[in-house]
């Protein structure tokens, strides 16, 4: 095989209380990447579309090429690979854009040069690529790669646990036309945490995992509560409080910032409610003068996949 096209989905990191340790993958939105073998050594980016010309084509700066290079070096590949990347999600939106590209590049390299390997083979390469641009966290790349809900139990060594999503669970994601840089949203976080907040978040993240495992959407919903990170980041998002209120008033089970924002997500237990919630959240952003993209999605259980050869 000389050429492969892969899809890598967007993701929602943190899932409320699980800063850097929980995430889930979304359906239908994400990056599409075509990789082609070449005789010239190393990775090159041939073309990027869907990014309004914002992403670097420098292979050392783009997460797709960093991820691909890392996999090829690990495999000791002598040849090269040319990448065409189509961004299907906005940059700096909180939906794991750089992570989706990292996964697309690493996964495509694996499928091209070592198709017999399992996805776990490239996880560290994806984390490394994401760390190069937005900090060391796996809660976007792991769900993009594997799909479903993912728990990062440990970073050193990297140990992740996957959970299937309850089938009734719907995610609403609303992305305002506004950018928040993950690097900056991490830089403002406190370096220590009051004991009371730790107890609050630990209880909620434990209950969130229990709710997923028990297929209980109500427990999942009331566990979307973070007293450490979200109160600090709320000020980065115009209309944060009114968007959250709009979601909850329209029947959401829980609502929080998606990743480092500015997207916000809400959970519900029906597709109809999920759409109503998306309209209410978008209206709240509109009152702040911001237009937004709305998305209703089940949790994507599949993660990165090959879509063409």
Catalytic residues: 130, 182
**Ramachandran category for residue 125: left, alpha or beta (phi over 0 → left; psi -120 to 50 → alpha):** alpha
Does 14 engage in binding with ligand HSE (CB under 6 A)? yes
Does 250 engage in binding with ligand HSE (CB under 6 A)? no
Residue nearest to ligand HSE (CB): 259
Site for ligand HSE in 205-224 (CB under 6 A): none
The answer to whether the beta carbons of residues 267 and 171 sit under 8 Å apart is: yes
Identity of the residue, 7 or 265, whose beta carbon is nearer to ligand HSE in the bound complex: 265
Shortest Å, Cβ 144 to ligand HSE? 11
Identity of the residue, 144 or 182, whose beta carbon is nearer to ligand HSE in the bound complex: 182
Site for ligand HSE in 86-115 (CB under 6 A): 94, 96
Does 273 engage in binding with ligand HSE (CB under 6 A)? no
Quote the tokens at residue 53. Answer: 């010309």
Q: Which residues contact 194 (CB under 8 A, 6 or more apart)?
A: none
Does 13 engage in binding with ligand HSE (CB under 6 A)? yes
Does 12 engage in binding with ligand HSE (CB under 6 A)? no
Does 20 engage in binding with ligand HSE (CB under 6 A)? yes
CA distances from 124 to 90, 111, 143, 187, 266 (A): 24, 16, 13, 23, 30
Q: Which stretch binds ligand HSE (CB under 6 A): 1-9, 13-21, 44-52, 195-203?
A: 13-21
Q: Which stretch binds ligand HSE (CB under 6 A): 14-22, 39-47, 62-70, 103-111?
A: 14-22
Identity of the residue, 13 or 66, whose beta carbon is nearer to ligand HSE in the bound complex: 13
Identity of the residue, 13 or 217, whose beta carbon is nearer to ligand HSE in the bound complex: 13
Q: Which stretch binds ligand HSE (CB under 6 A): 64-72, 134-142, 151-159, 238-246?
A: 134-142
254/221 Cα distance (integer angstroms): 4
Q: Which stretch binds ligand HSE (CB under 6 A): 40-48, 133-141, 247-255, 272-280?
A: 133-141
Identity of the residue, 94 or 176, whose beta carbon is nearer to ligand HSE in the bound complex: 94
110/292 Cα distance (integer angstroms): 35
Identity of the residue, 137 or 273, whose beta carbon is nearer to ligand HSE in the bound complex: 137
Q: Which stretch binds ligand HSE (CB under 6 A): 67-75, 80-88, 136-144, 237-245?
A: 136-144
Does 5 engage in binding with ligand HSE (CB under 6 A)? no
The answer to whether the beta carbons of residues 97 and 129 sit under 8 Å apart is: no
Quote the tokens at residue 47. Answer: 């073309």
Q: Which residues bind ligand HSE (CB under 6 A)?
A: 13-14, 19-20, 94, 96, 137, 139-140, 182, 185-186, 259-260
């Amino acid at each position: 095989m000389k050429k492969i096209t892969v899809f890598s989905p967007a993701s929602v990191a943190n899932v409320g209380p699980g800063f850097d340790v929980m995430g889930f993958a979304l359906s239908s939105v994400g990056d599409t990447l075509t990789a082609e073998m070449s005789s010239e050594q190393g990775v090159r980016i041939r073309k990027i579309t869907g990014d309004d010309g914002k992403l670097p084509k420098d292979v050392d700066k783009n997460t797709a090429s960093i991820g691909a290079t890392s996999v090829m070096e690990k495999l000791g590949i002598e040849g090269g690979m040319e990448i065409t990347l189509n961004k299907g999600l906005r940059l700096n939106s909180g939906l794991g854009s750089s992570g989706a590209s990292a996964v697309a590049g690493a996964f495509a390299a694996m499928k091209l040069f070592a198709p017999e390997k399992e996805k776990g083979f490239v996880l560290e390469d994806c984390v490394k690529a994401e760390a190069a641009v937005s900090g060391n966290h796996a809660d976007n790349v792991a769900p993009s790669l594997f799909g479903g809900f993912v728990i990062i139990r440990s970073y050193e060594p990297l140990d992740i646990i996957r959970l299937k999503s309850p089938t009734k669970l719907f995610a609403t994601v609303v992305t305002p036309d506004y950018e928040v840089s993950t690097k900056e949203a991490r830089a403002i976080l406190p370096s220590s945490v009051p004991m009371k907040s730790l107890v609050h978040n630990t209880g909620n993240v434990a209950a969130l995992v229990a709710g997923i495992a028990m297929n209980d959407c109500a427990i999942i919903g009331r566990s979307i509560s973070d007293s450490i990170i979200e109160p600090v980041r709320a000020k980065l998002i115009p209309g944060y409080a009114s968007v959250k209120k709009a979601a909850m008033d329209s029947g959401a089970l829980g609502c929080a910032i998606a990743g480092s924002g500015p997207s916000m997500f809400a959970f519900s237990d029906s597709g109809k409610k999920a759409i109503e919630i998306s309209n209410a959240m978008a209206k709240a952003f509109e009152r702040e003068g911001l237009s937004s993209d709305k998305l209703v999605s089940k949790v994507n259980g599949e993660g990165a996949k090959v879509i063409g050869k």
